[in-house]
Amino acid sequence: MRILVTGGAGFIGSHFVRSYADAAETTVLDKLTYAGNRANLAPVQDRITFVLGDICDAELLGKVVPGHDLVVNFAAESHVDRSITAAGEFVRSNVLGVETLLRACLDAGTPRIVHVSTDEVYGSIDTGSWDETAPLSPNSPYAAAKAGGDLIALAYARTHHLPVSITRCGNNYGPYQYPEKVIPLFVTRLLDGRNVPLYGDGGNVRDWIHVDDHCRAVRLVAERGEPGEVYHVAGTTELTNLELTARLLAALGADWRRVERVPDRKGHDRRYSLADGRLRALGYAPRIPFERGLAETVRWYATHRSWWEPLPERVP
């Protein structure tokens, strides 16, 4: 079995590679943007082939993609805040990149492809949960670009019978996440005795999932999912940002004096929520309770300063 993992040096992609590198011959193709980090692959570096490259580079993909039994695409610009200030790279990597990669898979006759996406493509939902047939209604440039990539993937499945499935997941947390996203940002700042910025009224709700559960879901969809279908990977714990902040403060022995209220993110979606019945019908169930996963994650950042301290700070 030969697997190509695009975006495999990022947070989720590298977890996938570290988890499954022993089970398959693995190639990682990654552009190493600010979010990509070879150190994320250090534990498996002797067991994988790393290719520095861009999923928008058709010529390179024409050489790299053939011969793989499975392609899993994690490559994307992934931070909503950055898409608000500069969306161009998001459109390039998350839409054009997906199309270029899928075209290469089509040309190579790749037997199985999973394209990794997000709950944010649906917009915001006050109550209830989306199922896989809900209309796409993205609000941020990040979500709009991800929706564009998803639609290209579905079009390739429909038009060319490309065996691609899509996974859409809620908010991930875990080790090796770039400290621009809220959990590692707050944890690393609190570890340094600094204040943390809380958007708006703190009432935005996110459904959290440990990165390991997400990666098991992606693997299951690769093995047992239907081509042309979308699979939701729901989180295990819905929390407002205020509730999340309270847990992080408690975990790090800090109090609310460390929290600075900052103006809300532009267009900030209030709540996301996925119904994951289709994935559960394949036998999936999350394994990592939020309390345990969060405690382990906090411990990881506390004991891995050498991983995050050199990373440039990218948030105010």
Q: Of residues 27, 118, 204, 237, which one binds ligand NAD by CB under 6 A?
A: 118
Helix (H, G, I), strand (E, B) or coil at 48: strand
Catalytic residue, candidates 20, 122, 142, 272: 142
Residue owning tokens 């999912």: 225
Q: How far apart are CA 103 and CA 84, in angstroms?
A: 29
Binding of residue 54 to ligand NAD (CB under 6 A): yes
Nearest by Cα to 301 from 172, 170, 179: 179
- Cβ-based nearer residue to ligand NAD, 254 or 301: 301
Q: At what angle do helices 241-251 and 182-191 cross, to 10 degrees?
A: 30
Q: How far apart are CA 232 and CA 119, in angstroms?
A: 8
> Does residue 178 carry a catalytic annotation?
no
Binding of residue 56 to ligand NAD (CB under 6 A): yes
Binding of residue 116 to ligand NAD (CB under 6 A): yes
Q: Of residues 41, 48, 76, 244, which one binds ligand NAD by CB under 6 A?
A: 76
Kindly indicate which of the ranges 69-77, 197-205, 246-254, 286-294 contains the residues binding ligand NAD, using the contact rule CB under 6 A.
69-77
CA distances from 20 to 35, 44, 140, 158 (A): 21, 10, 32, 29
Q: How far is the CB of 24 from ligand NAD (least distance, A)?
A: 19
Binding of residue 93 to ligand NAD (CB under 6 A): yes
Binding of residue 55 to ligand NAD (CB under 6 A): yes
Q: Of residues 3, 4, 5, 7, which one binds ligand NAD by CB under 6 A?
A: 7
Kindly indicate which of the ranges 76-84, 125-133, 182-190, 263-271 contains the residues binding ligand NAD, using the contact rule CB under 6 A.
76-84
CA distances from 27 to 70, 94, 151, 188, 203 (A): 10, 20, 26, 31, 41
Catalytic residue, candidates 30, 54, 120, 207: 120
- Cβ-based nearer residue to ligand NAD, 27 or 93: 93
Residue 139 burial by Cβ neighbours in a 10 Å radius (0-12, 13-18, 19+): middle
Strands 70-73 and 205-210: unpaired
- Cβ-based nearer residue to ligand NAD, 181 or 247: 181
Q: How far apart are CA 283 and CA 216, in angstroms?
A: 11
Q: How far is the CB of 233 from ligand NAD (least distance, A)?
A: 8
> Does residue 192 carry a catalytic annotation?
no
Binding of residue 36 to ligand NAD (CB under 6 A): yes
List all residues 6 or more positions away from 313 whose beta carbon is below 8 Å from its beta carbon. Answer: 179
Residue 74, token pair as written in the block: 């994690």
> Does residue 119 carry a catalytic annotation?
yes
Residue 184, token pair as written in the block: 């590692």
Task: Return left, alpha or beta for 170; rule: phi > 0 is left, psi -120 to 50 is alpha, else beta.
Answer: beta
Binding of residue 206 to ligand NAD (CB under 6 A): no
Kindly indicate which of the ranges 63-71, 166-174, 246-254, 282-290 contains the residues binding ligand NAD, using the contact rule CB under 6 A.
166-174
Q: How far is the CB of 249 from ligand NAD (least distance, A)?
A: 21
Binding of residue 11 to ligand NAD (CB under 6 A): yes
The one-letter amino acid code at 185 reads L
- Which residues lie near ligand NAD (CB under 6 A)? 6-7, 9-13, 30-33, 35-36, 54-56, 74-78, 93, 97, 116, 118, 146, 169, 171-172, 178
Q: Where in the sequence numbering do the catalytic residues fall?
A: 119-120, 142
